[in-house]
A and B are shown apart, each in its own frame.
Chain A
Amino acid sequence: MKSLAELKELRNKVQKEMKKRDQGTKAEIIVGMGTCGIAAGARDILKAVLAEIEKRDLDVRVTQTGCIGMCEKEPLIDVKLPGKKRITYGNLSEADVQKIITEHVVNGNIVTDLVIARHN
């Protein structure tokens, strides 16, 4: 069983790792978590985002937002790379999340067939 006492050790380890990293502006992934999003599977999408970030050891800020009025396209996520346009992807499956993180977040190439909106 895990105990709170382990956290100090984990904290020291994470802080050391973070010092080694470039502390530039982070990429951001925003997951729609309104009623419509949740009913369409947004919780598992967010879980998949977190798992993929963990697996690839990425430094990404993950946040959530409420309903943005595109309920029929849920679940959806936004990807915002530093200095780039914010891109909204919709009708997502967990497999799409892997693809978006590999192609867009890591390699910087927008996954055009999943895009539903581009913002300035």
Chain B
Amino acid sequence: MRELSLHILDIIENSRRAEADLIKIKIEEKIETNLLKIVIKDNGNGISQKKLNEITDPFITSRTTREVGLGLSLFKAAAESCGGRFEIDSQIDKGTRVTAEFEYDHIDRAPLGDMTTTLSNFIAANGDQVDIIYQHQYQENSFKFDSREIKAELEDLSIQSRQIISWIREYIGENLAEIRGGEAF
């Protein structure tokens, strides 16, 4: 994947398929400590301990087991090739948490990329069923987005309405640009 935001899109697609209705994404960009940390937590079906042990091995997971695949192994490899670490923990019926850390300035680290599109696309296709809480910290600045707060303002209008999606897209883009000092990515 060319961008970490594409890995994130891939992981939250797993959450959607695991019937999560709430996904929390947390990104920390801490340049002084040379850390980029991504945590994705969902309340989906979870993964059994047995499966968890083999889930990041692309040769053990088979194409017929739908909730596992190449995605997690790629994300793990991306973190570990950048002096970082990767961790996944999960409980059946409680949910799954994926944590990936990267050395911020590692030469092989893919750019974070277009989180605005990752988030607004996901909401455009799944927003009625799945809520997203997104927290992004860049140095001292932070931005929080909670789709449930948007829904509270919309009453019975769908969050997937195209006018609302284009508003959300601009809203997230503006705020990410603000906290990251000018550009959203």
Contact = CB atoms under 8 A, between A and B. Distances in A.
B118 interface: yes
B35 to A, nearest CB: 25
A113 B167 CA distance: 35
If over half of B's interface residues share one DSSP class (helix, strand or loop), that class is named, otherwise mixed; here it is helix
B156 to A, nearest CB: 8
Given A7-B154, A43-B118, A46-B125, A66 B149 contact: no
A62 B125 CA distance: 5
Query: Chain A interface: which size bin?
Result: 20 to 34
A117 interface: no
If over half of A's interface residues share one DSSP class (helix, strand or loop), that class is named, otherwise mixed; here it is helix
B34 interface: no
A6 B174 CA distance: 15
A30 B63 CA distance: 21
B124 A43 contact: no
Interface in A1-52: 1-2, 4, 6-8, 10-11, 13-15, 17-18, 31, 33-36, 38-39, 43-44, 46-47, 50
A34 B166 CA distance: 24
B89 interface: no
Contacts of B157: 11, 14-15
B153 A62 contact: no
A50 B118 CA distance: 13
A13 B69 CA distance: 43
A37 to B, nearest CB: 9
A13 to B, nearest CB: 8
Given A2-B174, A64-B126, A7 B163 contact: no
Interface stretch (B5-13, B38-46, B101-109): B5-13
Contacts of B165: 50
Contacts of A36: 70
B32 interface: no
A19 B25 CA distance: 36
Nearest to A2: B171
30 contacts: A2-B167, A4-B149, A7-B167, A11-B155, A11-B157, A11-B164, A15-B157, A17-B163, A31-B125, A33-B13, A34-B13, A34-B71, A35-B10, A35-B69, A35-B70, A35-B74, A38-B6, A38-B10, A39-B1, A43-B114, A50-B124, A50-B162, A50-B165, A50-B166, A63-B126, A64-B13, A64-B125, A66-B66, A67-B69, A69-B63
